[in-house]
Structure formats: structure tokens, C-alpha cells
Structure 1
């Protein structure tokens, strides 16, 4: 049977991996920060109902908090089970890295013809980001520059540089974003969509990168 210390240590580890404070997780789980603090230190026990709420706040299965043996993987994430968010023109963005994540986040974008990440470029944090084209032909707007990229082309940039991806090909395009460290919310950067957009070499190096 699991001891309070072991369960508390897993809760603390999951919280720290997520980069969340005691107060944030306690508020999301509907418990007091003092209770959560005592739980993490093994000074008190939690009911199954409370553990479920805490696990939900941490974004992990409750079984992960009760696991007797250490796990080295979240298991296979089937393509049809990937969480997704809609983009423009029926396109989608899929989550690949399962929470909690500490060092890297990974997304896959699927763009219908003419689909894009949005009308305007956006920024998020100041992380190192890689864009890899898996299939199709896309236009990457990055700061004042544009790049036409095809299958297996990739580029690295800072997520604080305004960027936008658009499918300019004649078939569905798929890309992958790898960002380290993870960032939170993105901020759109209004721009004049009437400006002419040129095409650059996908391996061109800009001074600002």
C-alpha cells in the first residue's frame, strides 16, 4: 500500500514539472494551499475524491499519483486521441507532448489548402522553436521575412519573433512545432495583410534568428 510520503512526493513532482505553485493547484482542485502543502510533505492523507480533483488540476491520471512502480513513459498516444484545437479554414493543431511537461512542448499542425495559424502573426514567450514541414508546401512569415518550405525543410527561431504559417500548396500540409522551454498563451501581432508577401530560401539565415 502506498504511503502518504510517496503519494505526496508524486504530487509535488507533478506540480513542479508543470511549473505551478501550491496556491494555483490548490485553487484548481478546490482544496486549501495548507492542506496541499501538508499532503506533499506526507503529513496528511487525502481521500480518493480529493486525489481525483488534485490529479485533474495537475493534468495527470489519478493512477499516476498512486503508481507503485516508476513509469518511464506515458504510453502510446494514438493519433485519433491527440487533443486538438481548431485553426483557420478547418485546419487543426494537435498536442503531442503530454502534460505535465518541463523541457519541451510538441505540436503537429494540419492545414487545409489556404489554411493558416491565423490572420495575423503571433508570439509566445522567448523560447527556442523549431518548425519542421512533414508534408505539403507552406509559407512561413517570420518577422519581416518569408520562407517557402516543403517536406523535411526545417527552421529554428525565437518564439518572440512574430510568426505565421499558411498552406500555399494544392494539398493538405502538416507541420511540427518543437518549443523549448514550453510557453503559455500566444499573443497575436496585428499586421497589414495587404502587404505583398515574397518567397525566400527555406534555408536562408537571417541576422535576427
Structure 2
């Protein structure tokens, strides 16, 4: 949600709480009904002095339009544009799909092609039980002396404590859905 849409939706929320119509708000602020309607739908922006006037009429602080909702933390929806991203290495990008307030930690790992590289990535230890599901590409995974190749639709579970290395030896990116319990939960 953009800042404009967010401000507009909050104006609408406060207006409805006061049981004001667009006409009532228009008469008290001097802003046209059409403008207020577009503002509430996020189609237009508002000047700071006009926003201050709207806040006064609605009986709220101007900062109320800019603060995040308290319920946002508990909102189970994670928007694609809000995904936290981490660069794990030159070949791996991690996108966190879940909220920290939930026990499961789903992630998308994007493994960039490294077909030309001969060296294998360093093995990592699974700090918790992990589930892998290959969405696209081809994934090579080594666990101890065993090697696995996963194709789209293949899945694999790793027990806590397993050491493994995964890499992409093709010329196209691979995307893996990784679901794990957070270490604090799994390690206690």
C-alpha cells in the first residue's frame, strides 16, 4: 500500500467513525467532494496544510495519518513489496515470506547459476528441521557422502543438525521454498 493510499484509507476510517459523509467533510474543510473521494481511494495527494485541516475537523492528530497500524504486526498477510531480503552469498538470495510473530519461517531462496565454478559451497548446519520444495530450476544438494539433484516439484526434508551444501550448476536461476522452525523454538 502506498503512503497516499494509506493516508486516504485512514481519512476514510476516521470520517466513518465520526459518521461524516463526504459532503459533511467537504463543507467543513473547504475541499471538494470529488477531491476527498479521490484522496480516500489513493488517486490523488494532499498538501500538508490541507491534511492538517482535515485532521482538525476529524479530531485526530496529523501524525495519526502517518503511523503504522498497531494491528499490522498481527496481520497474517505479507505483501510482496515488503519482503525482507538478505544476500547470503554471491549465488544465494533469501526472501523471508513469513512474519516473525509466527513459528514457521517460510523463505524463498534464489540460487544464481554457477555452472562455471568448480569449487563447491561450504556446508551449513541445519539449526532446525527444514523442508525444501524446488519451485523452478535444478538444485544440487550434498549431504555427507550423498549427492542429490532436485527438479521442479521435488521436495526434501532435512533433520536438525544435518550438514548440507546446495548449489545451482545450471545456467538458469533456481528457486527453492524453504520452511523451517526458528532456531529458538527448535533448539530449546
TM-score tier after normalising by the smaller chain length: 0.5 to 0.7
Corresponding pairs, count = 114
Contact kept, 8 Å, 1:124 with 1:183, in 2: the verdict is no
Describe the SS at the equivalent of 2:90. Answer: helix
Mapped to 2, the partners of 1:90 and 1:147 lie a distance apart of: 19
1:171 aligns with 2:172: yes
Q: Which runs of 5+ in 1 are unaligned?
A: 1-60, 185-209
Specify the alignment match of 2:146 in structure 1.
145
1:105 aligns with 2:105: yes
Which structure has the greater CA radius of gyration?
A: 2
Post-superposition offset of 1:167 = 0.8
Specify the alignment match of 1:154 in structure 2.
155
2:123 corresponds, among 118, 121, 124, to 121
Post-superposition offset of 1:90 = 4.7
Mapped to 2, the partners of 1:85 and 1:145 lie a distance apart of: 28
Describe the SS at the equivalent of 1:140. Answer: strand
**Which of structure 1's runs of 4+ aligned residues deviate more than 4 A?**
none
Describe the SS at the equivalent of 1:80. Answer: helix
- CA gap of 1:129–1:78, structure 2 versus 1, over 3 A, is same
1:64 aligns with 2:86: no
Describe the SS at the equivalent of 2:183. Answer: coil
Cα-Cα RMSD: 2.7
TM-score by length of 1: 0.48
Contact kept, 8 Å, 2:121 with 2:166, in 1: the verdict is no
Post-superposition offset of 1:174 = 0.3
